[in-house]
Amino acid sequence: MIIVPEKEIAGLLTRADAFDAVEKVFASMSKGSAYNFPVIREAIGYEDALYGFKGGFDKAGMALGLKAGGYWPNNLAKHGHINHQSTVFLFDPDTGMVKAMVGGNLLTALRTAAASSVSIKHLSRKDAKVMGMVGAGHQATFQLRAALEQRDFEKVIGWNYHPEMLPNIEKVANEAGVPFEAVPLEGMVEADVVISITSTFAPTIMASHISDGTHIACMGTDTKGKQEIEAALLAQTTVFTDEVAQSISIGEAQHAIAEGLIRQSDVNELGAVINGTHPGRTSDDEITLFDGTGVGLQDLAVASSIVDLALEKGIATIVDF
Amino acid sequence: MIIVPEKEIAGLLTRADAFDAVEKVFASMSKGSAYNFPVIREAIGYEDALYGFKGGFDKAGMALGLKAGGYWPNNLAKHGHINHQSTVFLFDPDTGMVKAMVGGNLLTALRTAAASSVSIKHLSRKDAKVMGMVGAGHQATFQLRAALEQRDFEKVIGWNYHPEMLPNIEKVANEAGVPFEAVPLEGMVEADVVISITSTFAPTIMASHISDGTHIACMGTDTKGKQEIEAALLAQTTVFTDEVAQSISIGEAQHAIAEGLIRQSDVNELGAVINGTHPGRTSDDEITLFDGTGVGLQDLAVASSIVDLALEKGIATIVDF
């Protein structure tokens, strides 16, 4: 039984490792060699907590298990812990025996950033120069850092409901040697790639904010009712996602589906583009959209990489179990 | 982070501990202070394995978490491991952080045995003398051992589809100082308590095999289609269960419900009897039946007891996580 505690993850997993793991598992999902189990998510009636399990099995990557944990809104104030808490458990697909336990907090941030980064690699224009950020919270810094590695961006523009948070992402841009500029939402027309990473129940990004040829990665919608972009805009784009079933029910595509603007068959798997079974972007003025809903298999894939790295570097704790 | 490996469980958990934990959690479920999450159970398409998660939260016992694992039918032949493999993970309900990991194999056997034992304590006649076993496999030995502690039984009678397995339970009876007799199914009319612990898709026990006043614990049905007793017999009994929703869908009561012989409101919680909000048995000739479907909260309750015992005895492995 291998244990990799939360505090070791930062020193082990590079963004490139997370990227490779997520790209591979999206490909495996689209080939039918990996699938996610139904998600359990429960309001437990204590501490206003949401708790649950996201599991799956990737036969290609031989990753079986789950991420367990959730959201404890009072953690920081009461206990000094971050509010999102999760742990990944890997099982041996050959025997059903538990194989590894991996801290899931930083892992979740990195795998979510990797997902939009994989979408940028496969869907944005090669000549993209302006990176647009809608959202500037903690997770936005991870998304931006990973995104900047995919194209030769010359500028980052950013908007946030609370503008005082924009220095979070300005700092990341500057660390990557890219200038930053705060813009109103209308200013997003300048962006070639837009990542939205907000948590809202009404659309922020309208069709008038987005230019032809842009790639949009919507990373904030993972619950019924949440919405980042207006449904009419989504309906103008070619939609890709990590998992179609989640995209149309709890992801960004739920609204355009509910309003009858698109059908399930209009939502494509990003994995199909990776595998070459979907052409992806077919013109320079097409708007592509990645609806990143977040799946358990991403967590398992990245956790498996972490275990391999920890064993390689002799950092894993091995316990008799 | 506390770890209690499988090999330590036998030396830690007594039958009395398992009994107390299961009795308490059934009571908590019936009071509404504990609930099970939806069960995930997946045929993963590899090694013919069934894998899944049973989770829940007991606010009274402050137990939150899940049992993960399943059934790997080739384990014994290929790897020398038992085919059922599971692990229990406990989380801190105050923070959502992982708290403990406990081997789940022996634990599952003991909590299942505790459930029928709790039902015998609360539902069988006080003067029960003859214990009847239908089924004589590995799990039957656990059920019988726990059952014999609940009444002053003077004889154990047993039937099994493969009679050559009867010595398994004869040995347990003799160890408890009780004589054993192999009987045909018709001979079960002599029993005051019957435990059925078989895995079949057609009924074994008919109304003609059971006398008035008997308590029957059906412990083998946990899947749609499985059946141990004929529906007409179940309809003659006062039915109790661990969880009504499971009893009527995947438990022994599913067939009588499907045939319209009983309604959901005819299925009572054993926890209500423990709490004194249901009278339980009301006459000496009433046939009572416990439909033990198995819930995640039993696993969490027993795992919590194991963690407490391991800490007390200094046996727990503590790892930095």
**Is A57 within 8 Å of A29 (Cβ atoms)?**
no
Chain A positions in Cβ-Cβ contact with residue B310 (cut-off 8 Å): none
Decide if A89 and B68 are in contact by the 8 Å CB cutoff.
Answer: yes
Asked if A57 and B79 come within 8 Å (Cβ–Cβ), the reply is no
Q: How many whole angstroms from its chain centre is CA B229? A: 16
Residues sharing a CB contact under 8 Å with residue A287, sequence separation 6 or more, in sequence order:
A210, A212, A213, A214, A215, A216, A236, A237, A238
CA A210 from chain centre, in angstroms, equals 21
pLDDT value at position B216? 98
Judged on CB neighbours under 10 Å (0-12, 13-18, 19+), A317 is middle
User: CB A91 to CB B68 under 8 A?
Assistant: yes
How far, in Å, CA of B88 to CA of B297, rounded?
Answer: 11
The size of the A-B interface in CB pairs under 8 A is 141
Of A42, A94, A101, the CB nearest to B101: A101
- pLDDT of amino acid A137: 95
Per residue in A233-274, pLDDT (tens digit) is: 999 999 999 999 999 999 999 999 999 999 999 999 999 999
Instruction: Point out the residue among B45, B53, B319 whose CB comes nearest to the CB of A55.
Output: B53
Q: What is the pTM of this model?
A: 0.94
Half-sphere exposure of A189 toward its Cβ, with a 13 Å CA cutoff?
Answer: 5
A72 CB within 8 Å of a chain B CB: yes
B206: three-class secondary structure by DSSP: coil
A96: nearest CB among B65, B85, B89? B85
Residues of B annotated as part of the active site = 67
The amino acid present at A125, given as its one-letter code, is: R
Interface of A with B in 52-71 (CB under 8 A): 52-53, 55, 57, 59, 64-66, 68-71
- The pLDDT score that the predictor gives to residue A56 is 98
In 3D, which of B1, B68, B105 has the Cα closest to residue A319? B1
pLDDT above 70 covers a percentage of chain B that reads 100
- Comparing alpha-carbon positions, the chain A residue that sits nearest to B92 is A69
Select the residue from A81, A86, A91, A319 to test the B interface by mutation, using most B Cβ atoms within 10 A. A91
Q: Are B70 and B85 in contact (CB under 8 A)?
A: yes
- Select from B78, B85, B93 the Cβ nearest to the Cβ of A47: B93
3-class DSSP state for residue A230?
A: coil
Å between A242 CA and nearest CA of chain B: 20
CB count, 10 Å around CB of B203? 17
**Catalytic residue ranges of A:** 67
Q: State the DSSP H helix or E strand holding residue B274, giving kind and residue range, or none if neither.
A: helix B270-275
CB burial readout A258-282, b (16+ within 10 A) else e: eeebbeeebbbbbbbbbeeebebbe
- Alpha-carbon distance of B46 to A26, in angstroms, equals 20
Q: Residue B19 and residue B113: Cα distance in Å, rounded?
A: 8
B residues 81-100 lying closer than 8 A (beta carbon) to A = 81, 85-87, 89, 91, 93-98
> Which of A74, A95, A108 is the best residue to mutate to test the B interface, defined by the most B CB atoms within 10 Å of its own CB?
A95
* Pick from A295, A245, A271, A304: nearest CA to A31: A271
Q: Does A47 touch chain B (CB under 8 A)?
A: yes
Judged by CB atoms closer than 8 Å, whether chains meet at B94 and A87 is answered as: no
Q: Which residues pair with B51 in a beta bridge?
A: B42, B70
Closest chain B residue by Cα to residue A75: B95
The question of ipTM being above 0.90 is answered as yes
Q: What are phi and psi of B138, to 5 degrees?
A: -55, -50
* A chain contacts of residue B320, beta-carbon cutoff 8 Å: 5, 317
Sequence length of chain A is: 321
CB contact under 8 A, B85 and A66: no
B38 touches chain A (CB under 8 A): yes
pLDDT at A289: 98
What does the alpha-carbon distance between residue B178 and residue A101 come to, in Å, rounded to a whole number? Answer: 46
Confirm or reject contact between A43 and chain B (CB < 8 A): no
Please state the rounded mean pLDDT for residues B162-191: 98
Residues of A in contact with B99 (CB under 8 A): none
Average pLDDT of span B75-82? 96
Q: What is the pLDDT of residue B15?
A: 96
Which residues of chain B does A72 touch, with a Cβ-Cβ cutoff of 8 Å? 94-96
- Cα angle A24, A27, A32; round to 5: 125
Interface of B with A in 292-321 (CB under 8 A): 317, 319-321
For A283-312, what is each residue's pLDDT tens digit? Answer: 999 999 999 999 999 999 999 999 999 999
User: What DSSP string describes A149-182?
Assistant: TTS---EEEEE-SSGGGTHHHHHHHHHTT--EEE
Residue labelled with tokens 């995930």: B40
Residues in chain B: 321
Quick one: closest CA in A to B318, which residue?
A: A319
Mutate to test the interface with A, among B42, B59, B300, B317 (most CBs of A within 10 A): B42
Contacts of B65 (CB under 8 A, 6+ apart): A68, B55, B56, B88, B89, B90, B91, B99, B300, B303
Q: For residue A266, what are its two tokens?
A: 């209009």
Buried b (16+ CB within 10 A) or exposed e, A45-74: eebebbbbbbbbbbbebebbbbbbbbbbee
When scoring A8, A66, A318 by the number of chain B Cβ atoms within 10 A, the one with the most, hence best to mutate, is A66
Q: Which residues of chain A have pLDDT under 50?
A: none
